[in-house]
Chains A and B, each alone.
Chain A
Amino acid sequence: MCCIRAMRLIASALLLLLFLSAPPSYGQGLPQDIPRKELLILENPEGTIKNAGWFNIWAINAGSQSNGLQQVALDTLWYIDPEAGLDGAWDNSLAADKPQYNSDFTEMRVNLRKGIFWSDNVEFTADDVVATVMTQIMHPGMRFSAVMASNVASVEAPDRYTVVFKLKHPNSRFHTNFTVRWGAVWILPKHVFEKVDDPLRFNFNKPISLGAYELHSYDPNGKWYIWQLRRDWDRTTLARFGKPGPKYLAYIDPGPPDKRVILQLNHELDVIHDIAPEGMFALARQSKTTRAWFKGFPYGHPDPTLPAVIFNTQNDLFKNPDVRWALALLIDIKAVVMAAYRGACTISAIGVPPTGAHPETYHQPMEEWLKSFEIDTGKRKIRPYDPTIGKQIADMLRPSMGEQIPSDPKEVARAFGMGWWKPDPQAAQELLEKEGFAKRNGAWTTPDGRLFSIRVMVEGDLRPVMTRAGTMIVQLWKQAGIDAKIDLAQGTLPTRRAAGDFDTLIGWSVETWGGHQDLSYFLDSWHSQFVAEPGKSQPLRNWQRWSSPALDKIIEEIRTVDFDDPRSIELGKEYIKLAVKEMPTIPLMAYTVFTAMDQTYWTGFPTAENPYTNPVPNWGNSRYMFVRLKPAS
């Protein structure tokens, strides 16, 4: 029995030693030797980077992008902010002014800023831009090789600060390749890459910065990266807006959502990239210092991305717009937003995200047309649009969320969206019957007598919010007598989406600049010239594989007008009307990102009241946040 006594003694001593030796508050473990008041800690949503020492962003998919590399170390010609921007949404970054095209858009001239330096004291010049393009073209398999090779006939630098691109075919949107939305073609340092034999196998470690920060240190196991403000930060493009507040930035992998909440409550994670709605609600309840985009409900930042029910229009069942419309009329959007986001999102009936400049440009002007829009069910004409759905969602949430729910109609529309299609099972039935479908013993059958079955593909726990939306839509369709099933794709979704191996999927084929009215960012890829044969791989983003001569005509005209031409807005509205009539996808809501910002150490984060940039920290644009951040008093 003496050994049992000895074991008791040893165990007690060990426990005592463990807890006495531990620091009083340890949580995550902050960086050594860096004052907390000089450090901003942000989440890198890429998680753990398996190839941590790889900084060559021009090689495809080899290392991290949003570990701070694209946000603070690299730069390119232009940025478009999804929000208002520090000095307007458009920013001439390395370029001194806007792109200058010739009359037929086969040549683009760029004037560059002077006095911008790489972190190794070499001046940035036109040679870097030329080297960026030529390195990509000469090495197929690099990230931007294909897009450069397919567009650029030649690129020259007539002097140190001018670049002239000659294009293989007219392209009025060529400059968008060098314009940051989330990322873009980043400029590489010629003086580094010209000494490299094979740029595809070069790790670019230690990276030379063109941005305001340079690499301080990183974890070989890919858990964290620390960037330090350059001493010569005033020789970078960001300096136009002032000195960045944080001297150090740490991009970390904080782990699963629960841990992100714990870390922010412990004030050891200043910016959470995204979190489940429930995590956001918990932070809003428990932390006095956490701030999200909206001050109260619905908290999250609506990204210029539009989740939708995407039909595979090459599938016989979904070729007919009446069938697609019938399925839209069976959806109760209020139930979907409650299931997906607990109501914390902004709905959109039209094929443009309700965020940034779009509500003023598209949603509000289209409202009257939407109210008068009619569908012929075969038995009658209906007006399916209900402009009060956004308000209904707000009213539904008010009893539980109280004063957090705005009452001003403009605020309600901004936070929850405007209108959507009112559920109309009777009209849906008429539309289906019009197309030869029949309901027998409560179950719908197709015109050839088979059970009307629909698989709704979702990504599962890789994208839980979309999965919840899909599950609710399946339930609604099942209630109407359709044999709907969830099709859990998990990691196979990109492969199956490209192959067209789905009936419908919950995802997005609409992404926009947000801060600019031009829709070509996604719309150009919807041209029928890019639609693959059934069974062949579909290039992004027309996952619905929808071909429409009317849409082709709109796209072809957009290609001929300037990026800033007001005509592109009119053409954008024509696309919206066509998409409403044809319903190739059922738009649902903006993709809400619950970015949570802790104001314990830093203040001045972008918010809906002060929307100077997108707060989502993996976006290249998030660099603008750093010049507005000030240490908390």
Chain B
Amino acid sequence: MLRIASYEAADCGDPGSFLRHGGALMSGYFAFLLRRLGQFGLVLFIGINVAYVITHASPIDPVEQSISAVTSFGNTAPDAVEQMRSALRELYGLGATPLDQYRLFWSRILRADFGPSLSAFPTPVSTLIGRALPWTAGLLAVSTIIAWGLGNLLGGLAGYYQKSRTLRLMGVVAIGLHPIPYYILALLLLIVFGYLWPVLPIAGGSAMNLPQSLTMEFVASVLQHAILPALSLILIGVGSWFIGMRSLVSNIVTEDYVVYAELAGVRPWRILSSYVMRNAMAPQLTGLAMSLGGIFNGAVITEKVFGYPGLGSLLVDAVYAGDYGLVLGVTTISIVAVSAGVLAIDLLYPLLDPRVKVN
């Protein structure tokens, strides 16, 4: 548990007292760390089990999906389909008892092995995720951080310089963009920059026929292809951070210590950065950690609209194909990432904000 401490200070005049106090703090922090790690493990165990149960309760049968995909266009005799069905059940490991399947799942998870994908058999799930993850992580992490940074910066400025016309206008734009359904905005960008004024690529992660290697040409192509999807995410994302930060700052600027700092002649930028925004950062950092953890779900609409590679489309296709191995792989990574993000913030809070201490 964390709590905001009252303004009690250690007796700095007594070194022994300080050490005793520091030692107690460290011991308390260590106990907190252990407790928090235990919670982290429990959350992972429960979360992954829930994901396992839900995916296995899916009404979509991966064998039927495979057979449907194979026979939709082919001239397969009906009697052969039954043979195909039993061969696939054996191949996919679906003939084992539910308990054996569950044991196999956990034995694999503990080795960071999600088994083979059923809709791309026998390719391992980890290979498919490994191909898509860098694109998702790159696009979403960068756009989340930019949206977070921009939203907080502008929100902080808008909350502090409440009379600035430019900032008020920015506020109107950010708040105006925020409620627009994402796909509408994405489609609008696509039409404007892909058709009416075709200056930006509207599909793919890089140019066609360009080898994926660390060359300047490839990096430039990746950046150029990321502009529209990233812009769409930033434009939509910046609003919520802006609103949150502006509200926090608007409250803080009325605090006595800010008024005293102004009266004492501290420069406005220093007041804003060191006294106001820093104090408003705690909830925003929590939000950032959760957003960054959440990127491992992918951004399905972004990927679909802009044809951008990533985990979101992989996850959706896996759901439709009844590919529980792949669904579990993506969701497990997401569960771990979100939990780890929250854990990291919890552990860092006492170090980042001196008012927060371990109870």
On A, residues with C-beta under 8 Å from B are 1, 3-4, 8, 18-19, 22-34, 48, 50-52, 54, 59-63, 140-141, 143, 145-147, 149-151, 176-177, 179, 181-184, 200-201, 216-217, 219-224, 226, 250, 252-256, 258-259, 262-263, 265-266, 462, 490-492, 494-499, 521, 524-525, 530, 537, 539-540, 542
Query: B166: CB under 8 A from chain A?
Result: yes
On B, residues with C-beta under 8 Å from A are 59-61, 64-71, 73-85, 87-88, 90-91, 117, 119-123, 128, 131-132, 135, 157, 161, 164, 166-167, 187, 190-191, 194-195, 198-205, 207-210, 212, 221, 224-225, 227, 269, 304-307, 309, 313-314, 317, 319-322
Contact across chains for A221 and B80 when beta carbons are under 8 A apart: no
Looking at the assembled complex, report how far the CB atom of B170 sits from the nearest CB atom of chain A, in whole angstroms: 9
Contact across chains for B79 and A150 when beta carbons are under 8 A apart: yes
Contact across chains for A494 and B123 when beta carbons are under 8 A apart: no
Looking at the assembled complex, report how far the CB atom of A545 sits from the nearest CB atom of chain B, in whole angstroms: 12
Question: In the complex the two chains form, what is the Cα distance from A150 to B69 in whole Å?
Answer: 20
Cβ contacts A to B, 22 pairs, < 8 Å: A1-B164, A22-B200, A25-B198, A26-B200, A28-B204, A32-B210, A50-B317, A51-B128, A60-B66, A61-B120, A145-B84, A146-B84, A181-B75, A200-B122, A221-B131, A226-B209, A255-B304, A255-B306, A255-B307, A259-B305, A491-B320, A524-B77
Question: In the complex the two chains form, what is the Cα distance from A149 to B75 in whole Å?
Answer: 15
Contact across chains for A60 and B205 when beta carbons are under 8 A apart: no
Question: In the complex the two chains form, what is the Cα distance from A28 to B195 in whole Å?
Answer: 10
Contact across chains for B87 and A141 when beta carbons are under 8 A apart: yes
Contact across chains for A147 and B70 when beta carbons are under 8 A apart: no
Contact across chains for A539 and B199 when beta carbons are under 8 A apart: no
Q: Which residues of A contact B208 (CB under 8 A)?
A: 29-32, 219, 223-224, 226, 250, 252
Interface of B is mostly: helix
Q: Which residues of A contact B166 (CB under 8 A)?
A: 4, 8
Closest chain A residue, CB of each to CB of B211 = A217
Contact across chains for A495 and B65 when beta carbons are under 8 A apart: yes
Contact across chains for B79 and A539 when beta carbons are under 8 A apart: yes
Looking at the assembled complex, report how far the CB atom of B255 sits from the nearest CB atom of chain A, in whole angstroms: 22
Q: Which 10 A-B pairs have the closest CB atoms?
A: A494-B68, A539-B78, A491-B320, A146-B83, A146-B80, A51-B120, A31-B209, A221-B309, A182-B73, A530-B78
Contact across chains for A201 and B122 when beta carbons are under 8 A apart: yes
Besides A62-B120, A62-B122, A201-B122, 14 more A-B contacts (Cβ < 8 Å) are A24-B199, A27-B202, A48-B307, A60-B66, A60-B121, A62-B123, A147-B80, A221-B132, A221-B205, A255-B203, A492-B59, A495-B64, A498-B67, A498-B68
A-B contact count (CB 8 A): 238
Question: In the complex the two chains form, what is the Cα distance from A31 to B201 in whole Å?
Answer: 12
Question: In the complex the two chains form, what is the Cα distance from A492 to B87 in whole Å?
Answer: 22
Looking at the assembled complex, report how far the CB atom of A257 sits from the nearest CB atom of chain B, in whole angstroms: 11
Question: In the complex the two chains form, what is the Cα distance from A263 to B306 in whole Å?
Answer: 12
Q: Which residues of B contact A263 (CB under 8 A)?
A: 202-203
Q: Which of B67, B135, B164, B210 has the largest number of chain A CB atoms within 10 A?
A: B67
Q: Which residues of B contact A54 (CB under 8 A)?
A: 120, 123
Contact across chains for B90 and A539 when beta carbons are under 8 A apart: no
Closest chain B residue, CB of each to CB of A253 = B307
Closest chain A residue, CB of each to CB of B191 = A262
Q: Which residues of A contact B212 (CB under 8 A)?
A: 220
Question: In the complex the two chains form, what is the Cα distance from A94 to B74 in whole Å?
Answer: 19
Looking at the assembled complex, report how far the CB atom of B146 sits from the nearest CB atom of chain A, in whole angstroms: 12
Q: Which residues of A contact B199 (CB under 8 A)?
A: 19, 22-26
A183-B80 contact, Cβ under 8 Å, with A60-B66, A221-B131, A262-B190 = no
Closest chain B residue, CB of each to CB of A250 = B208
A259-B307 contact, Cβ under 8 Å, with A60-B121, A147-B77, A537-B64 = yes
Contact across chains for A4 and B161 when beta carbons are under 8 A apart: yes
Contact across chains for B121 and A59 when beta carbons are under 8 A apart: yes
Question: In the complex the two chains form, what is the Cα distance from A323 to B61 in whole Å?
Answer: 32
A259-B60 contact, Cβ under 8 Å, with A495-B322, A530-B79 = no
Q: Which residues of A contact B201 (CB under 8 A)?
A: 26-29
Q: Which of B71, B135, B157 has the largest number of chain A CB atoms within 10 A?
A: B71
A219-B204 contact, Cβ under 8 Å, with A32-B209, A494-B68 = yes
Question: In the complex the two chains form, what is the Cα distance from A534 to B6 in whole Å?
Answer: 71
Looking at the assembled complex, report how far the CB atom of B148 sits from the nearest CB atom of chain A, in whole angstroms: 16
Contact across chains for A256 and B305 when beta carbons are under 8 A apart: yes
Closest chain A residue, CB of each to CB of B313 = A48
Q: Which residues of B contact A59 (CB under 8 A)?
A: 121-122
A184-B79 contact, Cβ under 8 Å, with A61-B69, A220-B131, A256-B305 = no
